[in-house]
């Protein structure tokens, strides 16, 4: 059985590498960079990275952003600090775009849950009661009586 290299704990690192990427972005180059960052001797395969939705989405967004940045006219600056700040802004904009898309997906999921609760006749106040029960430690809940 192959060793699992990319774990949920390493996802933020991989996504930050993608967000900070400059220049040509390919799966091979990304795999090399991730292998170095995770200190993996055998290397990381494209299939390992692309099998995670978050990494695939970040890669696709960055690839699109790099393509658009390449086509737009950029002013070359001799100031090193300005170049650093431009890269930092570009990285933060990419991360903001990714997080906004995730937030929008959560909003859509919430609306779906809200609709399903309405169709099943569940009231909002009964859903809020469940939150009160979840805030108590499990030892305080009476399992046979449903938590009361």
**For 109-129, what is each residue's pLDDT tens digit?**
999 988 898 899 888 777 777
CB atoms within 10 A of CB 17: 18
**For 28-54, what is each residue's pLDDT tens digit?**
888 888 888 888 887 788 888 888 888
Mean pLDDT of 70-97: 78
Mean pLDDT of 123-140: 71
Average pLDDT, the chain: 80
Given a cut of 60, is residue 145 above it in pLDDT? no
pTM of the predicted protein model: 0.53
Confidence of residue 22 (pLDDT cuts 50, 70, 90): confident
Q: How far apart are CA 39 and CA 60, in angstroms?
A: 24
Q: What are the residues whose beta carbons fall under 8 Å from the beta carbon of 37, sequence distance 6 or more?
A: 13, 14, 17
């Amino acid at each position: 059985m192959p060793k699992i290299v990319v774990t949920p704990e390493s996802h933020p690192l991989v996504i930050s590498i993608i967000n900070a990427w400059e220049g040509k972005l390919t799966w091979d180059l990304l795999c090399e960079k991730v292998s170095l960052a995770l200190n993996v001797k055998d290397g990381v395969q494209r299939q390992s990275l692309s099998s995670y939705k978050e990494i695939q989405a970040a890669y696709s967004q960055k690839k699109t952003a790099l393509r658009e940045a390449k086509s737009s006219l950029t002013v070359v600056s001799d100031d090193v600090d300005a170049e650093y700040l431009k890269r930092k802004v570009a990285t933060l904009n990419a991360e903001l775009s990714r997080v906004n898309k995730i937030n929008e997906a959560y909003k859509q999921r919430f609306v779906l849950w809200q609709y399903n609760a309405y169709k099943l006749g569940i009231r909002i106040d009964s859903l809020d009661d469940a939150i009160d029960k979840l805030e108590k430690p499990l030892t305080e809940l009476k399992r046979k009586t449903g938590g009361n």
